[in-house]
């Protein structure tokens, strides 16, 4: 027999259970993360590993879904603004493509500023605090930063000197790269990654300035024949989170997610180096030839692009101190 007391007690229990269930659901944070790179790209693989670790260590309370290949409709140059405006809570932001909004973000694309990943680590010691400030004023927080490997010129033509590069129409990812390759006589065109393969297929460009990893992503062997290891610039992906979304997390979850990012970042850098070796081998397997760049050619390229350092520092005064501090540490100041 159901008495009034039993009914009241039972109802209260059900209400309490419902309230707890609602709170449990409310405590689960689901974030989509936008990236333009495909599933097989090491940056995307890094992001997936990070998402899995976050899910594991938060017991599913923070669930990140990596939307690869531009699924969410954002192009690379739009990511900083997309996160800033809350259009997406997380994005894999390519720093050099954000110079329209934040010129300092192009610092890594100063020609030949860094010659190795070890030098890049030293540069980051000086520029990362500035990246953090830029993220904050754009309503976001950097969780981790991972570089692309060294850069190559991927071309249809086989050339032996700078003169051979003259007027070759080449895709580049950012404005600084336009200036650099124009300075050596090429015809540089700034094209987002998502439009690069159609540009190659149509013959709109006859080359691409990018990493070996992107060369594999784009199956460059279907369009191009030669790879030139010029190692001319670097760039980095920054996983950023919208600050409003971040602040909505409980403090303990914030600390946990930030700690996971910091702990995994060095391994992600190692993945970058491995991806370069593996990807260069894959390009060769696809039929592309790696052409050694002669000392004379490199000297010519360096000489023609050298003025870009001072030009960048004049255009972006905030970069002067960190860059000169880096150069001093490298004994190049």
Domain count, the chain: 1
> Is 21 within a domain?
no
Residue 39 in domain = yes
Does 198 reside within a domain? yes
Q: What is the pLDDT along the chain (333 residues), one digit of tens a residue?
A: 444 444 344 444 443 344 333 334 446 999 999 999 999 999 999 999 999 999 999 999 999 999 999 999 999 999 999 999 999 999 999 999 999 999 999 999 999 999 999 999 999 999 999 999 999 999 999 999 999 998 999 999 999 999 999 999 999 988 889 999 999 999 999 999 999 999 999 999 999 999 999 999 999 999 999 999 999 999 999 999 999 999 999 999 999 999 999 999 999 999 999 999 999 999 999 999 999 999 999 999 999 999 999 999 999 999 999 999 999 999 996
Which CATH number fits the domain that encloses residue 47? 3.40.190.170
Provide the domain limits for residue 124. Answer: 29-330
Q: Is residue 59 part of a domain?
A: yes
Q: What's the predicted TM-score (pTM) here?
A: 0.87
Q: Does 7 fall in a domain? A: no
- Which H or E run includes 207? strand 207-211
Which of 235, 175, 181 shows the shortest CA–CA distance to 209?
181
φ and ψ at residue 110, rounded to 5 degrees: -65, 125
CA distances (Å), origin 178, targets 32, 96, 97, 235: 32, 12, 12, 15
Report if residue 16 sits inside a domain: no
Tokens matching residue 209: 């300035």
**Does 54 map to a domain?**
yes
Rounded CA-CA distance 322/126 in Å is 5
């Amino acid at each position: 027999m159901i008495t009034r007391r039993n009914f009241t007690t039972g109802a209260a229990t059900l209400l309490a259970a419902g309230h707890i269930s609602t709170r449990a659901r409310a405590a689960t944070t689901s974030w989509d993360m936008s990236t333009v790179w495909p599933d097989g790209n090491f940056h995307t693989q890094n992001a997936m590993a990070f998402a899995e670790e976050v899910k594991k260590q938060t017991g599913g309370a923070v669930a990140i879904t990596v939307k690869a290949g531009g699924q969410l409709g954002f192009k690379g140059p739009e990511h900083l603004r997309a996160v800033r405006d809350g259009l997406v809570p997380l994005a894999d932001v390519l720093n050099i493509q954000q110079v329209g909004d934040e010129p300092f973000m192009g610092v890594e694309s100063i020609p030949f500023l860094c010659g190795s990943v070890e030098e890049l680590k030293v540069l980051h010691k000086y520029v990362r605090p500035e990246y953090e400030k830029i993220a904050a004023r754009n309503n976001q927080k950097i969780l981790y930063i991972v570089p692309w490997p060294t850069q190559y010129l991927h071309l249809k033509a086989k050339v032996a000197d700078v003169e051979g590069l003259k007027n070759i129409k080449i895709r580049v990812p950012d404005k600084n790269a336009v200036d650099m390759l124009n300075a050596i006589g090429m015809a540089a065109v700034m094209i987002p990654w998502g439009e690069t393969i159609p540009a190659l297929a149509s013959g709109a460009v006859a080359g691409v300035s990018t990493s070996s990893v992107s060369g594999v992503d784009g199956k460059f062997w279907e369009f191009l024949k030669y790879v030139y290891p010029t190692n001319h610039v670097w760039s980095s992906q920054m996983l950023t989170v919208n600050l409003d979304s971040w602040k909505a997390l409980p403090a303990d979850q914030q600390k946990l997610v930030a700690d996971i990012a910091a702990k995994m970042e060095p391994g992600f850098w190692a993945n970058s180096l491995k991806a370069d070796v593996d990807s260069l081998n894959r390009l060769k397997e696809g039929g592309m030839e790696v052409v050694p760049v002669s000392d004379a050619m490199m000297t010519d390229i360096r000489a023609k692009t050298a003025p870009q350092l001072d030009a960048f520092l004049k255009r972006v005064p905030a970069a002067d101190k960190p860059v000169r501090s880096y150069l001093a540490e490298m004994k190049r100041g």
